[in-house]
Chains A and B, each alone.
Chain A
Amino acid sequence: MAAESTIDALGQFELHPVLGQIGEALRFSQSPLFMLIAVVLVLAFLYLGMRPAAVVPGRLQAAAEIGYDFIHNMATDTIGEKGTAFFPFVFAIFFFILAGNYLGLVPYSFTFTSHIVVTVSLALLVFLVSILASLKAQGMKFFAHFMPEGAPVFLAPLLIPIEILSFLSRPVSLSIRLFANMMAGHVLLEVFAGFTLMLAGLGLFGPALAVAPVAINVALTALELLVGVLQAYVFAILTCIYLREAVAH
């Protein structure tokens, strides 16, 4: 991937048709392919994990149950009593993003969460669901939230635009956070891998020095494992917070 003297850090995010002729005809790139793999992995994890349905769970069943419980507690604790209605939505979002983040760490794979078009779609989905939920739960009172309670009326021309901008910034911050974290992590991995190749070609002491970027990459991979689950968690918990504000009152 990295050439002799330059590091092509962004080349890994380019989309190419996959699966030969069929992929070219359908414009089917790595991104939807890895989305499909992520969905299949999550469904297989739940299906295979829960198939034994043992009273004392094995390892896979325990993992599936912990995952279910974790999101269920998050949804019901944060959203409140109506949380169970939104639990499948939050669960799907969390595990889709988590699978996407972790699939991207497999060599030769593709990180679909590193494309802003994917994260914006997910964030807009959350945004629209929360607007529809609040319109259903609160009706026209929803628009009253743009004027903070107890504020003097003469400040309304200042406060209402600020509140509206704050509301509109939700999908932007959701999508930028996920996209930027994933892209930055993968660019870093690529840059240090490029350093390894460049140092290895530096004559006598080069190969010995090239060990250092490899060591850094090992540490970065561990950091990416943390960032991957953390970003999925932040996305899911913010979804819960927005839905709580939607169904409250």
Chain B
Amino acid sequence: MGAQDDLNVSSQTDKGAESFDRRLAEAEARMRGKSVKDDAATGTKDGNADYSAFGLAMRLGTEMVAALIVGVVVGYGLDRLCGTKPVLLILFSLAGGASGMLNVWRAVRNAQV
């Protein structure tokens, strides 16, 4: 990354095809020694893995709560429609909790962290 920053700085000071060729040759010479190591260290895969590990941690809590909320709301709504006051609310709350666990399980299973 350090070599790339140098390139950016010099591109602002002088422009033109000739100086570009010269700078390109310099940069290639500079990068030749360490290019293999740098690519391995700053590959996009690694960066994404860091993000998704933290992102996954933020996901799991809300996944569980959201399914429970949906279960309670659906149960309550169906109860009001059908006039079966507490029965569907109880059943759908349990199903909501179960689908919350299912959400968490799916999120964790698919993550390759």
Contacts and interface: CB of A to CB of B under 8 A. Distances in A.
Contacts of B44: 70, 73
Given A162-B95, A231-B58, A234-B58, A172 B8 contact: no
Interface extent on A, as a size class?
20 to 34
Nearest to B27: A56
Nearest to B12: A58
B52 A237 contact: yes
A151 interface: no
Contact of B8 (A59, A162, A241): A59
Contacts of B98: 162
Contact of B20 (A56, A161, A166, A234): A56
Interface residues of B, number: 33
B52 A169 contact: no
A54 B23 CA distance: 14
Interface of A: 54-59, 62, 70, 73-74, 77, 158, 161-163, 165-166, 168-170, 172-173, 176-177, 180-181, 230-231, 233-234, 237-238, 241
B11 interface: yes
B58 A58 contact: no
A219 to B, nearest CB: 17
A51 B71 CA distance: 51
A185 B103 CA distance: 26
